[in-house]
Amino acid sequence: MAVVNVRRDVDDKFYRYRMPLLMTKIEGKGNGIKTVVPNMSDVARALSRPPTYPTKFFGCELGAQTSFDEKNDRYIVNGAHEANKLRELLDGFIDKFVLCKSCKNPETDLIITKSEEILRDCKACGERTGVDMRHKLTTFIVKNPPKNPKKSKGKKGTSNADSPTPGGQHAESASADVDAEADASDDELMKRIKAEAAVLTTETSIAKEDWSVDTSAEAVKARIKAVEAGVAALAVGGDDDSEEDADSPNSVLGRWCQENREAGPVEVYKKADELGIAKKHKTAQIIVQALFTENAVTELPKYMPLFAKMVTSEKHQKALLGGIERLVGIYHPGLIEVVPKILMEFYQADILEEEVVQQWGTHVSKKYTDKETSKRVRKASEPFLKWLEEADDSDEDDDDE
Per-residue confidence band for 180, with pLDDT thresholds at 50, 70 and 90? very low
The domains found in the chain, sorted by start residue, are 3-178 (3.30.30.170), 199-396 (1.25.40.180)
Which has the minimum average pLDDT: 27-36, 128-137, 235-244?
A: 235-244
Give the CA diameter of the chain.
Answer: 88
Helix (H) or strand (E) holding 34: strand 34-36
Predicted pLDDT of residue 170: 40
Per-residue confidence band for 132, with pLDDT thresholds at 50, 70 and 90? very high
β pairing state of 108-113 and 177-178: parallel
> Between these two residues, 232 and 132, which has the higher pLDDT value?
132
Measured in degrees and rounded to the nearest 5, phi and psi for residue 253 equal -65, -40
Please state, for a pLDDT cut of 70, what percent of the chain lies above it. 72
Q: For residue range 57-90, list pLDDT tens digits in order.
A: 999 999 999 999 988 999 999 999 999 999 999 9
Q: How many residues does the chain have?
A: 401
pTM of the model: 0.44
Q: For residue range 231-253, list pLDDT tens digits in order.
A: 444 444 444 444 456 678 988 99
Is the CB of residue 356 less than 8 Å from the CB of residue 317? Answer: yes
Asked whether residue 204 carries a pLDDT value surpassing 60, the answer given is no
Q: For residue range 181-194, list pLDDT tens digits in order.
A: 444 444 554 555 45
Per-residue confidence band for 30, with pLDDT thresholds at 50, 70 and 90? confident
Closest CA to 20 of 168, 127, 152, 202: 168
> Between these two residues, 225 and 342, which has the higher pLDDT value?
342
Predicted pLDDT of residue 31: 84
Asked whether residue 168 carries a pLDDT value surpassing 80, the answer given is no
Q: In the structure, how many helices (H) and strands (E) does the chain have?
A: 16, 10
